[in-house]
């Protein structure tokens, strides 16, 4: 049956490759698009909820002057001022969601709320360009990237933008209830895209602010960026199942456009990952001893590997690693522990 697009104006703007307008989604609830310069995602949909003493935002947008101007202009369009913002509920710590929260807090004194695991991630991010090069470059080399390419990839990431992100004033846990005017939003912990990714569910209106966890057209990046990164794909698939138990009429994602049909969309996303796991396992079995970097180049992507930028290749490597870790957890693949790490089919000698 597919999904039903409820954000028709947003959908048309997506087709036309333009920024959608500010929209009144429901009484006391607005959608404010904030551009992400030079990014294929184009914009973040910041949601502004009218509270008794001002506004509460869900996400804030990318920390850039162009983005800041759009956010403040959008808030003005709904008849308010950025100084009226009392709080920012951040779905996860990525820069296009947390980025402008610091500026909002400086302008208004608003609190910033983030799940406790993502709040910890922010505190543990590398604090200097040299540390980013050491940590991220080392991880790339560990999984098969040549030293010079690993170094240039980190340089291409413009890591100076990621230094000193805003720290949370409030930490959230699964099930916490937050009030904005007459609305009650329940925090639903949905790890996978990040360890602490959180959706916000309003049971009375049957609305789900889904962040990046569920999008109408694409699947979010599920990635391993460090050796002790756990099994984010397993967590992500489990999180999708949690959402299926909610009574949701409309999904309000952080990108693209609003829609109905949550269960259908989550089923499509699960199927995508099942197929990717099968494709990757077949590659591992055909190419025993391959690195994750070599395997990533062999996988089917939406466009040819040769056209990927260095940064996008890093993301592809990290997604490949997430799927390999899940295969390892299932006993279908195992890896060596040297540098570079190499992958093989089966559970490995230590697990037998």
Query: What is residue 204's predicted lDDT score, i.e. its pLDDT?
Result: 95
Structural contact between residues 99 and 165, judged by C-beta atoms closer than 8 angstroms = yes
pTM: 0.94
Distance CA 74, CA 32 (A): 6
Please give the C-alpha separations between residue 5 and each of 133, 234, 245, 318, in angstroms, as whole numbers: 42, 28, 21, 31
Q: What is the pLDDT of residue 351?
A: 47
Scan for tokens 């089966």, then name that residue: 346
Helix H or strand E encompassing 42: none
User: Could you tell me where in the chain the CATH 1.10.10.10 domains are found?
Assistant: 288-351
* β-sheet bridge partners, residue 115: 172
CA distance 91 to 35: 17
Can you state the angle between helices 129-142 and 310-329, rounded to 10 degrees?
Answer: 50
Task: Give start-end residues of each CATH 3.60.15.10 domain in the chain.
Answer: 4-125+165-260
User: In this predicted structure, what is the pLDDT of residue 352?
Assistant: 40
Coil, strand, or helix at residue 54? strand
Q: What pLDDT, on a 0 to 100 scale, did the predictor assign at position 349?
A: 61
H or E stretch at 275: helix 262-286
Structure tokens at 327: 């295969």
Architecture of domain 4-125+165-260: 4-Layer Sandwich (3.60)
Nearest-CA neighbor of 35 among 48, 17, 8?
A: 17
In order along its 352 residues, the chain shows pLDDT tens digits of 689 999 999 999 999 999 999 999 999 999 999 999 988 899 999 999 999 889 999 999 999 999 999 999 999 999 999 999 999 999 999 999 999 999 999 999 999 999 999 999 999 887 888 888 888 889 999 999 999 998 888 888 777 677 778 999 999 999 999 998 889 999 999 999 999 999 999 999 999 999 999 999 999 999 998 766 689 999 999 999 999 899 999 999 999 999 999 999 999 999 999 999 999 999 999 999 999 999 999 999 989 999 999 889 999 999 999 999 999 999 999 999 889 999 999 876 654 4
Is CATH 1.10.10.10 correct for 288-351? Answer: yes
| Token pair recorded at residue 290 | 């391959």
**Two structure tokens written together for 343:** 């992958």
């Amino acid at each position: 049956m597919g999904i039903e697009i409820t954000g028709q104006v947003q959908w048309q703007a997506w087709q036309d490759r333009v920024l959608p307008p500010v929209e009144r989604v429901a009484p006391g609830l607005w959608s404010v698009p904030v551009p992400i310069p030079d990014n294929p995602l184009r914009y973040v949909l910041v949601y502004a909820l009218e509270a008794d003493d001002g506004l509460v935002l869900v996400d804030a947008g990318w920390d850039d002057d162009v983005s800041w101007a759009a956010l403040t202009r959008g808030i003005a369009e709904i008849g308010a001022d950025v100084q009226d913002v009392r709080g920012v509920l951040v779905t996860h710590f990525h820069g296009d969601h947390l980025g402008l929260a610091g500026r909002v807090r400086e302008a208004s004194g608003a609190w910033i709320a983030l799940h406790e695991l993502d709040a910890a991630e922010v505190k543990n991010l590398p604090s200097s360009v040299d540390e980013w090069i050491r940590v991220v470059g080392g991880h790339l080399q560990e999984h098969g990237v040549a030293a010079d390419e690993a170094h240039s990839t980190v340089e291409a990431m413009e890591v100076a933008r990621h230094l000193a992100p805003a720290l949370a004033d409030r930490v959230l846990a699964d099930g916490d209830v937050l009030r904005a005017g007459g609305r009650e939003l329940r925090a639903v912990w949905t790890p996978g895209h990040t360890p602490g990714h959180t959706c916000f569910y309003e049971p009375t209106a049957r609305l789900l602010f889904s962040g990046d966890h569920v999008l109408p057209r694409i699947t979010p990046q599920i990635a391993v960026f460090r050796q002790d990164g756990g099994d984010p794909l397993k967590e992500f698939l489990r999180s999708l199942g949690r959402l299926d138990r909610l009574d949701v009429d409309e999904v309000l994602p952080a990108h693209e456009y609003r829609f109905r049909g949550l269960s259908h969309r989550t089923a499509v996303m699960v199927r995508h990952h099942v197929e990717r796991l099968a494709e990757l396992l077949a590659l591992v079995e055909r190419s025993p001893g391959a690195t994750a970097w070599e395997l990533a180049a062999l996988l089917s992507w939406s466009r040819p590997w040769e056209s990927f930028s260095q940064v996008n290749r890093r993301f592809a490597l990290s997604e490949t690693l997430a799927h390999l870790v899940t295969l390892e957890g299932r006993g279908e693949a195992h890896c060596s522990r040297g540098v570079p790490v190499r992958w093989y089919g089966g559970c490995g000698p230590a697990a037998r």
